[in-house]
Structure 1
Amino acid sequence: MAKSTNIGLKRLINAFGFSMQGLKAAYKGEEAFRQEVAVLVLAVPLAFWLGDTAIEVALLIGSIILVLVVELLNSAIEAVVDRFGGELHVLSGQAKDMGSSAVLLISINALIIWCAVILF
């Protein structure tokens, strides 16, 4: 077996580059992702203003970041389904619907966190 040369710092640099490519592709190609980034841009300063403790600020910002993470995963699912399943198939629809449901649930979670911090 050949030994990998993609180790240590080189692997980290490559992984970071691939991650940046993914973020760029999502931003360019996904309207929902752009909207959620806009929410994050507004939410970060608001979180520092509304949060009374570092934990509250972290929860507020982290909840929006989680929405972005799940949106990225949903977009990845959709891309794979579209790539390998050009024809209509019930499993393709279910996969896309489940990804969308995950975004909905994490968005509800973020809303609950924001309401809890603001109201209590």
Structure 2
Amino acid sequence: MGRYQKPGFWRSLTQAWRGMLYTWKTQGHLQFHVFAGIIVLFFAWWSEVSRFEWLILILAIGSVIGAEVMNTALEIVVDMVQPNFHPLAGMAKDVAAGAVLVTAIQAVVIGLVVFFPRLYRFAYQIF
């Protein structure tokens, strides 16, 4: 492939999956977020959320996973260009981790908005 040729669709897709598998294997936080997302989706199915709520929950889960993957990419690049400790390199990593935290907090708030009324009704029926 020449210097300025774009890779084909299937090659790009293979490279993207390779990146996802690397992130899955090396980042415990991604594994936690995927596991939490699966639990949320199961609970959404069990509590029969609306189609709109499904979309919002899927968007929230995808945002957290996407932020975690981007955080991993940024950490790899920072480690590549600055293998020794540098305060700005560390700050870049912290800021990227902060972006993951923001999306995770957003996802939790969305989950509370979607599920709290259902949990409240469920608890009210039991007690």
TM-score, scaled to structure 1: 0.86
Q: Using the aligned pairs only, state the percent identity.
A: 26
Per-residue CA deviation, residues 26-73 of structure 1 (Å, 9 max, x unaligned), is 011111111111112222222223353101011112211210100000
Question: 1:98–1:51: structure 2 CA closer, same or farther, 3 Å change rule?
Answer: farther
Unaligned runs of 5+ in 2: 118-127
Change (3 A) 1:49 1:76: same
Q: TM-score, normalised by structure 2?
A: 0.81
- Distance of aligned partners of 1:4 and 1:82 in 2 relative to their CA distance in 1, 3 Å threshold: closer
Counterpart pick for 1:52 among 37, 49, 54 = 49
Task: Specify which of 17, 36, 40 is matched with residue 39 of structure 1.
Answer: 36
Aligned length in residues:
116
- Name whichever of 52-61 and 67-76 sits farther off: 52-61
Matched, 1:89 2:77: no
**1:79 and 2:61 are equivalent in the alignment:** no
AA of the residue aligned to 1:31: G
- In the alignment, structure 1 residue 98 sits paired with structure 2 residue 74: no
Structure 1 residue ranges without an equivalent (≥5): none
Of 2, 14, 17, 1:17 maps to: 14
Answer yes or no: is the 8 Å Cα contact 1:51–1:117 preserved in 2. no
For the residues of structure 1 that align with 2:70 and 2:105, how far apart are their CA atoms?
17
Q: Which amino acid aligns with 2:73?
A: A
RMSD: 2.1
**Pair 1:4–1:45, CA change in 2 (3 A):** same
Contact 1:43 1:61 in 2 (8 A): no
2:123 — aligned with what? none
CA distance, structure 2, for counterparts of residue 74 and residue 53 of structure 1: 32
For residues 119 and 31 of structure 1, what CA distance do their matches in structure 2 show? Answer: 28
